[in-house]
Amino acid sequence: MMKRTLAGLIRSHETTGDKARDPALKTRYYKLPKDKLWEEVVSLLKKLPKYTLLHEVKNVGEIVVTKRTVTGRTQDITLTLFAISPVKSAIDIYSASRGSLGDLGSNYRTILDLFKAIDSKLGSYKVDGN
């Protein structure tokens, strides 16, 4: 966690992906069709305190939300949902803080927070990426 804070002094964004070195930032896979995953994630985001849903672009699989941090900064968060097969989908998250200063690891924590919320709702559908 200390390393994240140090990186956050200069970096003001965080992203997930298949090649992420940190296991917490790996792409998440779910045994659900993309349409079903989309419905579940959108309904969850609408209920989460501190998050404001801005855009839903279903045909490209992007959901954009904002979040105010404790320091009053705004984070722009994009969740990208994509179909792997008719019965398997994945989610990646990109979170960036507005402004020029680093985020002290808050984008990292936001991503973990979102994945935790999604997993608590859809954990039974979670599968490995392979």
Residues 41-66: tens digit of each pLDDT? 999 999 999 999 999 999 999 999 99
Residue 10: its pLDDT value, please? 62
Domains of the chain: 2-127 (3.30.310.220)
| Residue 99: strand, helix, or coil | coil
Residue 7: its pLDDT value, please? 52
Instruction: Tell me the C-alpha distance between 40 and 38, whole Å.
Output: 6
Instruction: Tell me the C-alpha distance between 130 and 123, whole Å.
Output: 17
pTM: 0.90
H-helix or E-strand spanning residue 5: helix 2-10
